[in-house]
Structure 1
Amino acid sequence: MSSVDTFVEDARAGLRRVSPQETDKLRHEGALLIDIRPHANRASEGEIPGALPVERIHLEWRLSPDSEWRLPGVSAESVVVVFCNEGYASSLAARDLQLLGLPRATDLVGGFRAWAAAGLPTEPGGQAALP
């Protein structure tokens, strides 16, 4: 196993990762879905309805419960599901959010592509990421 594989596995050890179907259930229950995919992927493949696009470079500032730049409504009690294309970068991002004070942060197993393959709803993409 490569060092990057070990790095991802270590990050996942502290997560209770969720399937596309469980993510959909959480979405309907009010969880915050965060799309960290690049704009080009969102524009070409679509988006999950209600998910907020946040570029990975801004993620910690927009979601840290004590950041003055956090998204409205984000608190230490928030359920946050982060997703990327296939579920690798999102595992690292979710781990980082837990370290910042969001113990209920996790990621979507298989990322957006697993969501779409499961036949769950998507909408045309291309919305700009939140600054």
Structure 2
Amino acid sequence: MSDASQEQQDPVGIDELLEQVRAGYERVGPEEAATAAAEGALLVDIRYAALREKDGLIPGALVVERNELEWRLDPRGSHRAPEATSHDLRVVVICNEGYASSLAVPSLRALGLRRATDLTGGFQAWRAAGLPVAL
């Protein structure tokens, strides 16, 4: 076997990939996310526009399309959001059901946002918990 083929990893399915990335950090539930936000954490809603229009928004959450997430949250980036003030910022990424957000967290952590996590169950869990939603 050549060195190049030894370096390639065996393919994994999405369920296995999710399990692998989620093992690298602690996720939060809706109540913990709300408490974190009250204590200064940045909630970041990465759902696409149609879902936000249909289901509403979490008051105070920063809306960032998934394809812009790293550029907007990198504290050293030229396109950063004003809220992206520090690598020490606690960030809770929120998608619709908690899948895409899990895949986004390792990318944010690679940028140095070591306190980045995501919301288990996503926006739907937030809403089901009876937490505030602005329509």
Q: How does the TM-score come out when normalised to structure 2?
A: 0.88
Distance 2:21 2:64 in 1: 20
* Aligned twin of 2:88: 77
- Structure 1 range deviating more: 60-69 or 40-49: 60-69
Give CA-to-partner distance per residue, 1:49-105, whole Å, 9 cap, x none.
Answer: 000110000001001122111112421110000010000000111121011110000
Corresponding residue to 2:103 among 92, 97, 106: 92
Query: Which structure would you say has the larger Rg?
Result: 2
- Structure 1 range deviating more: 109-118 or 67-76: 67-76
SS of equivalent to 2:117 = strand
2:22 matched to 1:9? no
Aligned AA for 2:111?
Answer: L
Distance 2:25 2:53 in 1: 29
What is the alpha-carbon root mean square deviation over aligned residues?
1.0
SS of equivalent to 1:109 = coil
* Aligned twin of 1:34: 44
Distance 1:116 1:10 in 2: 27
Aligned AA for 1:6?
Answer: E
Aligned AA for 2:46?
Answer: I
Aligned-pair distance for 1:9?
A: 1.1
Distance 1:122 1:59 in 2: 22
Distance 1:34 1:100 in 2: 16
* Aligned twin of 2:6: none
In structure 1, stretches of 5+ residues that fail to align are 125-131
Distance 1:99 1:112 in 2: 24
Aligned AA for 1:97?
Answer: L
Q: How does the TM-score come out when normalised to structure 1?
A: 0.91
Question: Following superposition, which runs of at least 4 residues in structure 1 exceed 4 angstroms of deviation?
Answer: none
Higher relative contact order (CA 8 A, sep 6+): 1
Aligned AA for 2:14?
Answer: V
Distance 1:80 1:5 in 2: 24
* Aligned twin of 1:127: none
